[in-house]
Amino acid sequence: MFDVIMVPVDGSEYSFKAADVAIEIAQKFSSKIAAVHVLEEFSFNSYDSEEDSGDAILAKITKKAGEVGVEVTEHLLTADPLRDMSFIVAQTRADLVVIHAHGANNNRFVSFEENDVSDTQIGSVSERLLRNSNVPVLLVK
């Protein structure tokens, strides 16, 4: 049913929950995972630091998926997640995207308690992907 399931991961606990769902679906449908981590185009941190962090995030997904026999292709990209996510979906040739409703925001992870985030709100990247994607999007809460 799904050949490639893309899961964007930003290092937040929410993105890892979405990755768990993507891995479970991939296991059931013998799908591959395209794990994507986007390095912000403009960051105050060094590129090497951001790249190392992204590699570690992707490696965590690859390890977890590998434990259950799911193949993962890692994609570490420099882009604007809000602007470029639909393009990234096309480039990975995904036929399903699994993304969490919330995630990181400028290296500060969303906290429901500290930021008064309700369970009816979704993040800007998730919202734009839902509106513009040409493939099904599974929003994980």
Helix 81-92 to helix 124-132 angle (10° resolution) is: 50
DSSP letter for each residue of 13-63: HHHHHHHHHHHHHHHHHT-EEEEEEEEESS-SS-HHHHHHHHHHHHHHHHH
pLDDT (mean) for 18-22: 97
**The predicted structure's pLDDT at residue 44:** 62
Q: Which CATH architecture has domain 4-140?
A: 3-Layer(aba) Sandwich (3.40)
More confident residue, 107 or 16: 16
- Sign of the four-CA dihedral 72, 76, 77, 82: positive
- Nearest CA to 23 out of 73, 64, 54, 58 is that of 64
pLDDT in tens, 70-90: 999 999 998 888 888 889 999
Determine the Cα angle at 35 with ends 56 and 43, to 5°. Answer: 60
So where are the chain's domains?
A: 4-140
Task: Note the pTM of the prediction, 2 decimals.
Answer: 0.84
Write the pLDDT tens digit of every residue in 84-140: 888 999 999 999 999 998 766 544 444 445 555 555 667 878 888 888 889 999 999
- Residue 62 reports pLDDT greater than 60: yes
